[in-house]
Amino acid sequence: MKKDEKAILKAAVDTWGINMQKIICMEECGELIQALAKSMRPSREDNLQTSAFDLANIAEEIADVELCISQMKIAMPDIVADIEQIKTEKLDRLKSRILKSYINCREENGNDSKKNK
């Protein structure tokens, strides 16, 4: 993060307080959830692809959430190392699940091909 970006985000926390910024963060997360849900509605005419409008809306909401998360890290610097450690653990677990899924898929496909012979 650039120095001026960090200064602006810190100023927001200093100006409105951490509790208000937590509320804003919750609201922004809700708006991202709503944008993602809208893009998946079956009533959309083109339900095979996310529309350009939906993608722009999702991008805007992701940006808002990322800025809010950055504010939370600035306001609570003592948990940043914990966050990074937890992310590492979760990525390791995800990697393991992906590998397990890949192996299971290969085994299922291998068993199906043996049955067809």
Catalogue the long-range contacts made by 24-30 (C-beta closer than 8 Å, 24 or more residues apart).
24/68, 25/65, 25/68, 25/69, 25/71, 25/72, 28/61, 28/64, 28/65, 28/67, 28/68, 29/65, 29/68
Closest of 2, 21, 14, 17 to residue 69, by C-alpha = 21
Mean pLDDT, to the nearest integer, of 106-114? 72
Residue 70 pLDDT level (bands cut at 50, 70, 90): very high
Q: Could you tell me what percentage of the chain is helix, strand and coil, using 3-state DSSP and rounding each to the nearest 5?
A: 85, 0, 15
117 pLDDT more than 70:
no
pTM, entire model:
0.81
116 pLDDT more than 60:
no
Q: What is the pLDDT of residue 75?
A: 96
Q: What is the pLDDT of residue 50?
A: 73
